[in-house]
Amino acid sequence: MAKFRIKRYNPEKQSDPYYEEFDYDIPEGATLLDCLNHIKWNMDGTLTYRMSCRSAICGSCGMKGNGHALLACQKQAAHLLKDGNDTITIEPLGNMPVIKDLATDFQQFWEKIDQVKPYLQNKEKPPELERGQSPQQFKKIDDATTCIMCGACYSDCNVLEVDNNFLGPAALAKAQRFVGDSRDKATRERIKELSKPGGMWDCTHCGECVERCPKPAEPFYRIKDLMAVGLKEGVTNNVGARHALSFVKSVKHSGRLNENKIPVESMGYFNIKGLLDLVPVGLRMLLKMKIPPIIHKPVDDVKDVQRIFEEFGE
């Protein structure tokens, strides 16, 4: 017997959300969605959530189980019971307004997808039959094409919790699907847009989107692909790209990070406003005696580090 602790909220009737508990003996092999269906059909018909295919294809049944986003039709309910705990806490996806109970408003999610122009851009005259693509060319976008737009990565993205301007992992993964497409001819224009504030360089590398993605899309790695294209295309007039280049330059030179130079090089020597923004942080570090050493010393085996860079042609 398990206890399902479900977050309920009807904005038309309640001012605040609350939790309601249901006791249910989980049948062997039952998914979380199977359990929710039993609760709705036999215990409380007012419980609201989305579902459709029940095969982890449509992405409709995204929600949180024990604090993390998942697909209810894909997750075995018994797997959410660990270490003798008999309670499963079910909540709506995060970073989205709640419409009712476990159903959330995806409006902003879709707006961010639209921002990356999720369609091929090619002004060349179409061929008589189709634009061909080799298996090797498709492999570059294969993972991104598996995204089912379930919103799990968007829900648990740490950046979106504090910065609503961030495009989010799903939109950026969709962007990589077209940036990496051999048939698309707007790579540089796309990368310039994605390099603006709120774009790919605002990702904090937490990897939460990879943990929550129910498919092989793995948004974080698609974002890394975009960053690599940005550096290759020379779209480096932004803080994120400059930070990456400064990081590589420092490690290649001394085998370690020069924490005095990296913030300045990341902002840009001629970015007066950005440099002034660093002053309060620097002063706080000075007062707390956290300033890095003025003289930056290389590691003992720095030549071995430099040899690695040479091996990879950096």
Domains of the chain (ranges, CATH numbers)? 2-104 (3.10.20.30), 107-232 (1.10.1060.10), 239-311 (no CATH)
The pLDDT assigned to 312 comes to 86
Candidates 219, 218, 227; CA nearest to 172 is 219
Read off the pLDDT of residues 111-153 as tens digits, 9 standing for 90 and up.
999 999 999 999 988 888 888 999 999 999 999 999 999 999 9
Candidates 110, 129, 133; CA nearest to 120 is 133
Distance CA 40, CA 49 (A): 10
The pLDDT assigned to 129 comes to 86
Q: Give the mean pLDDT of 166-192.
A: 97
Which pairs count as long-range contacts for 40-48, CB under 8 Å and 24+ apart, including other chains? 44/20, 47/6, 47/8, 47/101, 47/102, 48/99, 48/100, 48/101, 48/102, 48/103
Lowest-pLDDT range of 20-24, 91-95, 285-289 = 285-289
Task: Give the DSSP H/E element, type plus range, for residue 33.
Answer: helix 32-42
Q: Give the mean pLDDT of 147-166.
A: 97
Q: What share of the chain is helix, strand, coil (3-state, %, to 5)?
A: 40, 10, 45
Q: Work out the burial of residue 159: count CB atoms within 10 Å of its CB; fewer than 13 is exposed, 13-18 middle, 19 or more buried.
A: buried
Lowest-pLDDT range of 28-37, 92-101, 258-267 = 258-267
Instruction: Give me the half-sphere count of Cα atoms (radius 13 Å) on the Cβ side of residue 279.
Output: 6
Work out the angle at residue 87's Cα, subtended by the Cα atoms of residues 86 and 90, and round it to the nearest 5 degrees: 150
Distance CA 261, CA 266 (A): 8
Candidates 46, 95, 42, 102; CA nearest to 72 is 102
Distance CA 311, CA 314 (A): 8
Candidates 163, 170, 165; CA nearest to 210 is 170
Question: Residue 112 in contact with residue 95, Cβ under 8 Å?
Answer: no
The pLDDT assigned to 308 comes to 93
Query: DSSP state, 70?
Result: E
Q: In the chain, what percentage of residues exceed pLDDT 70?
A: 100
Question: Residue 165 in contact with residue 197, Cβ under 8 Å?
Answer: yes
End-to-end CA distance of the chain: 59
Question: Residue 191 in contact with residue 175, Cβ under 8 Å?
Answer: no
- Mean pLDDT, the chain, integer: 95
- Pair of tokens at residue 226: 């975009």
Query: DSSP state, 202?
Result: G
292: left (phi over 0), alpha (psi -120 to 50) or beta: beta
Work out the angle at residue 201's Cα, subtended by the Cα atoms of residues 197 and 202, and round it to the nearest 5 degrees: 65
Q: Give the mean pLDDT of 213-226.
A: 97
Q: Is residue 232 classed as helix, strand or coil in its secondary structure?
A: helix
Q: Give the mean pLDDT of 230-256.
A: 95
